[in-house]
Amino acid sequence: MNIRTKILFLILTKILISVFITSCKEDTNEETILLYGRAAAAFSQGHFAETASLLENEQNFYPALLLRAKALYFSNNGDEAEKLLRRTLRRNPGSGEASLFLARILREQGKDHEARRISESLLRDNPQDIRALRLASDLAAQEGDLESAAALLDRAVEASAESALVFVDRARIRWSTGNGSGALEDLYRAELLLPWNTALNRGIRDLRATINARESLINPRESLYENQ
């Protein structure tokens, strides 16, 4: 699958997910969906001003509002991005992604107290949100509370173990469908996410060695995984 195809696949996937999530909440027409697809394509290519312009008149479709806010931010228009995110959250108060992005903008603007309040709210809803944990840790460190900052990062490390298991699961599927190289790469990524020399980490290393032994053709990158 070439890069162009991957980008198109990612865009289409995002569109389908967005439509599914919002279908019960909003009367989203085909024109809006197509416009969002164009804007998502522009965003993925780094055309942030174009993305913001395409979505300028969209007022209801939540994925489009969030995408425009991100485009505004990356166009060095943080103030407008902040205003849009606040409006978006008034309409969709349970949006964790919009809340997190707003907190990051507030952090850059020096509004640490509000940013920390948002991060704490996100962690109450999802204590294992790695992005919120990192943000909360950064804010705690900024305030000189290094003990809390370290404790938050410890929680993020623990939460990352779940992500490691996702890679292990995908490695199993890839290996069973004949994609040995993909399985090896997933296992390597899983190993990096886990503390060194734990039982699970050792098990992953053993599994990688087994797959390596059974693969007749190992490219240099995969051989590098085996030696690390």
Half-sphere exposure of 83 (CA within 13 A, CB side): 4
Q: Tens digits of per-residue pLDDT, 90-132?
A: 888 777 889 999 999 998 888 888 998 999 888 888 888 888 9
User: With contact defined as beta carbons under 8 Å apart, do 129 and 158 qualify?
Assistant: no
Please report, for residues 29, 35, 116, the alpha-carbon distance to residue 158 in angstroms, rounded to integers and kept in the order given: 42, 40, 21
pTM of the model: 0.61
User: With contact defined as beta carbons under 8 Å apart, do 139 and 119 qualify?
Assistant: yes
Please report, for residues 62, 102, 136, 139, 146, the alpha-carbon distance to residue 143 in angstroms, rounded to integers and kept in the order given: 34, 19, 11, 6, 8
pLDDT at 130: 86
CA–centroid distance for 201 within its chain: 24
Amino acid at 164: A
Q: Which residues of the chain have pLDDT under 70?
A: 1-28, 196-197, 216-228
> Domain residues of the chain, as ranges?
1-93, 160-228
**Residues 33, 162: Cα–Cα separation, whole Å:** 33
